[in-house]
Amino acid sequence: MSKFGIVMNGIIKENPTFVLMLGMCPTLATTTSALNGLMMGLATMAVLIFSNVIISAIKNLTPDMVHIPVYIVVIATLVTIVQFCLAAYMPEVNKSLGLFIPLIVVNCIILGRAESFAGKNNPLDSALDGIGIGLGFTIGLTLLGICRELLGNGTVFDLRIIPEDFGMLLFILPPGAFMTLGFIIAIINRFKKA
């Protein structure tokens, strides 16, 4: 597979949000706004890229019996760094995303890519895989956040698009997350069949 193909694979064929349906907890919980979706996606993407590179670089040094615990320590360290950076430079975003930043450690997307891709490929390809899967996840969360924020508040990235009186609170609440995700997946599947 070409370098460009590795990146595009994560965005289209193996999109974590709309195709693989991985990481649903942060997908549904943090996408009450476009900004939250974007920032959660970027935080996850940063951890994904760096963990893929590190795991790919140390795969031959790690005994098979302990590779999963080693992967988790690498991922947990990177998540801690991301959380400290968010707390220092973007405290409002850190507060808004709350517990979901530390939960990146157990996000099945990251551990799954470490196991299925980074543990079997070189650091460059692993970085490209992290970029592709990370972009796919970020696009998915941002799109979901845009739809929910627009329908719920009438805004996109806090810019008023629809008059305040026409917002539908349901889309900001948890049931709205499920409904919006379902509609987006249905639309995507419809275009795939066409």
At residue 170, the pLDDT reads 92
At residue 194, the pLDDT reads 67
The rounded distance, in Å, linking the Cα atoms of 170 and 175 is: 7
At residue 159, the pLDDT reads 94
CB 27 within 8 A of CB 147: no
The rounded distance, in Å, linking the Cα atoms of 140 and 53 is: 23
At residue 136, the pLDDT reads 96
At residue 64, the pLDDT reads 87
At residue 171, the pLDDT reads 94
64, HSE (Cβ side, Cα atoms, 13 Å): 1
From residue 138, alpha-carbon distances to 31, 48, 77, 183 in Å are 11, 12, 21, 18
The rounded distance, in Å, linking the Cα atoms of 92 and 96 is: 6
The rounded distance, in Å, linking the Cα atoms of 149 and 157 is: 8
From residue 23, alpha-carbon distances to 82, 105, 159 in Å are 18, 11, 28
> How does pLDDT run across 68-115, given as a tens digit for each residue?
999 999 999 999 999 999 999 999 999 999 899 999 998 889 999 999
The rounded distance, in Å, linking the Cα atoms of 154 and 152 is: 6
At residue 47, the pLDDT reads 97
Other residues' Cβ atoms within 10 Å of the Cβ of residue 37: 28
pLDDT means per 10 residues, the chain with 194 residues, are 87 92 90 95 97 96 91 96 96 93 90 92 96 96 96 94 88 94 94 79
